[in-house]
Structure 1
């Protein structure tokens, strides 16, 4: 009998005492059993660590660590440390409040084994909240034999992006992509996913709603991007992605960043955040240059002079 490959599930956790058991129970319920869960506590001040340690006592597949001082506080540092502690052939990044459906790991491993040249697999996913068990469904269709860059470009058209937990990848991608950027505070998952897919692995979709994403609520640590400070941090992450694309000199990635810039430009215009657009005018250079609406031109110019003379 062929030995099953090991899947490493890597989880950062911070103050999740009310919901982390639900996440860990979704791992225990998996039909595929050869996994390890490396959980790194990011300095929780509630009962999270105690709850996880109880799982460690009952099931040796769970391993729990505290984020060391040489790692920056935040999910990225915890994730990177979890990767260092992992042994799996396949890697799955999972947030501490989201859930896996019972057959997801089995289907992912089967796909890797059936298609040995595939390095990255992902599934369909649903969102849920306290008030709605199935708030939304997300499917990103791709043609057969698609690459990571194909997936980036396709997802940028409809603004459908993969969330950690929806995908798994072979361990050997990491030397080409690098680990999580511990300096980024917002859109860390988007910047990391960009580097994973820009390494251009062969990718395959699993047509299975295998992942459940918990929407914003009292138990969810998320960012309100309408806040100007957080919007600025988000755009800085996209500037970093843009710079990486320019360094790669890859024409294949231009649709991805162009579609993203167009969306973000319209998004901030909709919120009347003209100052943000001007703060990032080098990033939005083409969008501002091609703007034909006089009303928008006037508002941008008015904001510019107001800022310049203030």
Structure 2
């Protein structure tokens, strides 16, 4: 990894129940065939400082393990930003897996469309029995105009047409937005909407992620949809995206990364 500008930094927040799935996430990274001159680094960040990751991951120079005071996945992700060396930052939850070619497709989108700030892709739900389920309402592939994600989200009951767990975002844009939102959940949705409010993006029709469905999944817990907090999170996410769009009516001009 001599040329650090040709690097995708993959950030994975971890809490105790999801550690058992890290081996699958790692295996999906190892299987990635990267374009010439590119590599990945994996920033695994414990949401806490328990030492639970000691001895869990293999000896791979591309892996960087960190920890910090517990604050939820958004805090863990943002703390991991201090170790990012790549020009693109890829989201990968501890219980999910990338599909073959996912990182290469992200890189290709950025290279073909230098005006975009982020990419997403289709998702397959990975069920407990190993089967997969898709969604039949994905948008067409190609560029996603600034503001389109927010407009869809507002018109469809706080549901995005894009999956935030597939996000790959330019490092400079991510830092300009302050990392992930300081929310107990939905921080990845908040980042996607904020980025899309000020920058064009790209959607890849190929499936880029296996999104694991299992009992310990944070988004499957009743607390994730507790009405008062849920409504509050959605209002904060919306207000931030609207404010960014209003303050930067022409969007955020991006130039190709050096």
TM-score, with structure 2 as normaliser: 0.80
The whole-number CA distance in structure 2 between the counterparts of 1:47 and 1:129 is 26
Question: Which of the numbers 97, 100, 123 marks the counterpart of 1:99?
Answer: 97
Unaligned runs of 5+ in 1: 254-310
Where 1:181 maps in the other structure, the secondary structure is coil
Check conservation: 1:142, 1:151, Cα contact below 8 A: no
TM-score, with structure 1 as normaliser: 0.68
The alpha-carbon deviation at position 29 of structure 1 amounts to: 0.8
Q: Matched residue pairs, number?
A: 240
The alpha-carbon deviation at position 18 of structure 1 amounts to: 2.0
1:188-224 deviation digits (Å, cap 9, x = unpaired): 22222221222x2121111211111112x23423343
The whole-number CA distance in structure 1 between the counterparts of 2:238 and 2:152 is 17
**Range with bigger deviation, 102-111 or 233-242:** 233-242
The alpha-carbon deviation at position 9 of structure 1 amounts to: 0.3
Where 2:19 maps in the other structure, the secondary structure is coil
> What residue is the counterpart of 2:45 in the other structure?
40
> What residue is the counterpart of 1:88 in the other structure?
86
> What residue is the counterpart of 1:22 in the other structure?
24
Q: CA RMSD in A?
A: 2.9
Describe how 1:126-275 pairs up with structure 2 within 5 A.
126-131=124-129, 133-137=131-135, 140-142=138-140, 145-154=143-152, 157=155, 159-182=159-182, 184-198=183-197, 200-215=198-213, 217-225=214-222, 230-244=226-240, 247=243, 250=246
The whole-number CA distance in structure 2 between the counterparts of 1:51 and 1:143 is 37
The whole-number CA distance in structure 2 between the counterparts of 1:245 and 1:101 is 30
- Greater share of residues in helix: 1
1:214-256 deviation digits (Å, cap 9, x = unpaired): 12x234233435x598221111112213433564574xx9xxx
The whole-number CA distance in structure 2 between the counterparts of 1:165 and 1:228 is 16
Quick one: structure 1 residues 228 and 97, their matched pair in 2 at CA, closer, same or farther if it must change by over 3 Å?
closer
Question: Which of the numbers 115, 118, 139 marks the counterpart of 2:116?
Answer: 118
RCO higher in 1 or 2 (8 Å CA, sep ≥ 6)? Answer: 2
Structure whose alpha-carbon radius of gyration is higher: 1
The whole-number CA distance in structure 2 between the counterparts of 1:167 and 1:246 is 20
Quick one: structure 1 residues 19 and 102, their matched pair in 2 at CA, closer, same or farther if it must change by over 3 Å?
same
